């Protein structure tokens, strides 16, 4: 007789085991008993397997949510300025970071189709991102803006690879019905943990701006940036280590990198031809390009401008910034509901109007109404507007473009942004550095209201004509 444990280890389904037992000579009551034993063992093994996965992913997700709050982009940008970097350098590096992130994301999306990028690759990306925060601490301590810029770009490589591939592994590893209640709540409400860590980190930065801990004759600086960036580094490194221990049943597929690179370049050339031959793709790209550049420039300077406005008022320098953007993080929960409500009651055109104008409220408020409550509301409106605009862009591409055209548009968009980013991001950073933040914010406002909104409305009209 065949050993059941040996048979079940090779089997993937009840029917497979049943046929294997029959061939091994089992029948009647004896066959039923063996099948019952197999089902019981299989269910127990399954339960233990998913229980372990839930524990590991739960701890990893919790550490990630904390780390994103500790190492928030707003803090990184603020300390970049405080190392002595000019607005010009900050704008260019942040623009390069966004551009590099988009290119890496697009490349990995294609590469993952032919080459297995498993848990170890993702884990190492997270660990790289964690170590970049240690580099930021060293750059701040030495007041080296160039070194800070290097670690910002290095961190962007790690976080993009980590974020791009981690969610795929997560969804593939645990089906929704197998997720524990804790993991589901953590996935749904993780932004709350990030917001709390974000505000708590700001308090630590303001509280420990100059404090030193004395242990005998040894002094340990308790600077706020040291505490939060070290915490972010440790959390991401631990998270990557935990991910490396998660069971991965993915079948490994290897593909020669240089062969893929050659095919990828050819693929981009073919996409570029179709890109420039389709007027709808070009118009969509132009509108999205303007919005992306505006959001990149805004992310570079909004936080620092708010910090300088209220540096010695209200809650404290960093805490003011954290409260404003922390509220925006919490309000982002309302984004999908607001979008569905507008879409259902008003249609596609109002989605673009609302989305673009809500984004425009932020530069408008920073120029004409620099009161703390107004800026907090504007920041929240901007987050909801970005969410609304993202949904509206997706709906519009479905109406304007066929499936293959949509694929070309989304896959080639990052590459097509290279030249505009290299022109407009330095131009915007130059205005902020040599003239004023207010002038840059006015330009962003006028472009959103006077150019982006009419362009999207024109595209909506075109989509209706195409449907008819």
Percent of the chain with pLDDT over 90: 28
Position with higher pLDDT, 2 vs 410: 410
Residue 3 has pLDDT above 50, yes or no: no
Those residues whose C-beta lies under 8 Å from the C-beta of residue 96, and which sit 6 or more positions away, are 153, 421, 425
Give the model's pLDDT for residue 211: 58
- Candidates 297, 335, 279, 260; CA nearest to 448 is 297
Instruction: State the pLDDT confidence band at 371, using cuts at 50, 70 and 90.
Output: very high
Give the model's pLDDT for residue 158: 81
Give the model's pLDDT for residue 8: 41
The answer to whether 440 and 301 have CB atoms below 8 angstroms apart is yes
Phi and psi at 214, nearest 5°, equal -100, 125
Write out the two tokens for 300: 């570079």
- Candidates 67, 172, 65, 155; CA nearest to 118 is 172
**For 19-38, what is the mean pLDDT?**
62
Class of domain 263-468: mainly alpha
Give the model's pLDDT for residue 403: 76
The total of other beta-carbon atoms located within 10 Å of residue 19's CB is 12
Write out the two tokens for 201: 């980190």
**For 12-19, what is the mean pLDDT?**
58
Residue 29 has pLDDT above 80, yes or no: no
307-358 pLDDT tens trace: 999 888 888 789 999 999 998 888 887 777 777 776 666 667 777 888 888 9
Question: If you average pLDDT over every residue of the chain, what do you get?
Answer: 80
The answer to whether 115 and 260 have CB atoms below 8 angstroms apart is yes
Domain boundary assignment for the chain: 4-45, 263-468
The total of other beta-carbon atoms located within 10 Å of residue 220's CB is 11
Give the model's pLDDT for residue 389: 85
**For 415-430, what is the mean pLDDT?**
90
- Candidates 330, 307, 327, 320; CA nearest to 377 is 327
Residue 189 has pLDDT above 90, yes or no: no
> What single DSSP character describes residue 220?
E
Those residues whose C-beta lies under 8 Å from the C-beta of residue 69, and which sit 6 or more positions away, are 193, 194, 195, 196, 197, 198, 200, 201
Instruction: State the pLDDT confidence band at 388, using cuts at 50, 70 and 90.
Output: confident
Residue 216 has pLDDT above 60, yes or no: no
Position with higher pLDDT, 379 vs 22: 379
**For 100-118, what is the mean pLDDT?**
79
Give the model's pLDDT for residue 167: 73
Lowest-pLDDT range of 122-131, 223-232, 390-399: 390-399
Position with higher pLDDT, 141 vs 362: 362
Position with higher pLDDT, 262 vs 77: 77
253-301 pLDDT tens trace: 677 778 878 877 877 777 777 777 777 777 888 888 899 999 999 999 9
**For 69-83, what is the mean pLDDT?**
91
As a residue count, the chain comes to 468
Residue 437 has pLDDT above 50, yes or no: yes
> What single DSSP character describes residue 357?
H
**Strand, helix or coil at 322?**
helix
């Amino acid at each position: 007789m065949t050993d059941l444990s040996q048979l079940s280890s090779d089997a993937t389904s009840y029917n497979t085991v049943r046929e294997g037992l029959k061939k091994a000579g089992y029948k009647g009551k004896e066959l039923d008993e063996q099948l019952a034993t197999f089902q019981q063992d299989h269910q127990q093994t399954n339960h233990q397997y998913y229980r372990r996965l839930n524990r590991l992913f739960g701890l990893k997700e919790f550490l990630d949510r904390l780390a994103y709050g500790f190492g928030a982009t707003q803090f990184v940008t603020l300390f970049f300025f405080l190392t002595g970097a000019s607005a010009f350098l900050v704008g260019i590096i942040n623009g390069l970071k966004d551009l590099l992130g988009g290119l890496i994301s697009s490349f990995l999306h294609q590469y993952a189709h032919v080459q297995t990028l498993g848990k170890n690759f993702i884990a190492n990306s997270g660990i790289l991102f964690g170590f970049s925060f240690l580099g930021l601490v060293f750059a701040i301590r030495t007041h080296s803006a160039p070194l800070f810029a290097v670690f910002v770009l290095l961190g962007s490589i790690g976080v993009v690879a980590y974020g791009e591939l981690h969610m795929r592994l997560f969804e593939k590893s645990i089906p929704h019905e197998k997720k524990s209640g804790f993991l589901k709540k953590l996935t749904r409400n993780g932004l709350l943990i990030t917001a709390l860590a974000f505000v708590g980190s700001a308090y630590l930065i303001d509280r420990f701006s100059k404090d030193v801990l004395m242990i005998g004759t040894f002094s340990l600086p308790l600077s706020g940036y040291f505490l939060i960036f070290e915490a972010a580094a440790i959390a991401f490194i631990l998270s990557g280590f935990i991910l490396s221990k998660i069971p991965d049943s993915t079948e490994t597929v290897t593909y020669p990198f240089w062969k893929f690179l050659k095919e990828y370049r050819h693929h981009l050339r073919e996409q570029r031809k179709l890109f420039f031959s389709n007027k709808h793709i070009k118009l969509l790209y132009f509108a999205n390009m303007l919005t992306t550049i505006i959001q990149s420039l805004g992310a570079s300077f909004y936080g620092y401008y708010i910090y300088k406005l209220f540096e010695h008022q209200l809650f404290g320098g960093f805490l003011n910034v954290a409260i404003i953007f922390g509220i925006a993080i919490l309000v982002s929960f309302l984004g999908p509901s607001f979008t569905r409500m507008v879409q259902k009651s008003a249609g596609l055109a109002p989605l673009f109007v609302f989305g673009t104008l809500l984004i425009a409220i932020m530069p408008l408020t920073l120029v004409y109404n620099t009161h703390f409550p107004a800026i907090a509301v504007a920041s929240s409106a901007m987050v909801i507007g970005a969410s609304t605009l993202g949904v509206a862009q997706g709906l519009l591409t479905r109406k304007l473009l066929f499936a293959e055209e949509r694929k070309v548009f989304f896959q080639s968009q990052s590459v097509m942004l290279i030249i505009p980013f290299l022109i407009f991001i330095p131009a915007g950073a130059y205005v902020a550095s040599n003239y004023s933040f207010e002038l840059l914010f006015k330009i962003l406002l006028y472009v959103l209201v006077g150019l982006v909104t009419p362009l999207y409305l024109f595209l909506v009209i075109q989509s209706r004509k195409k449907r008819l």
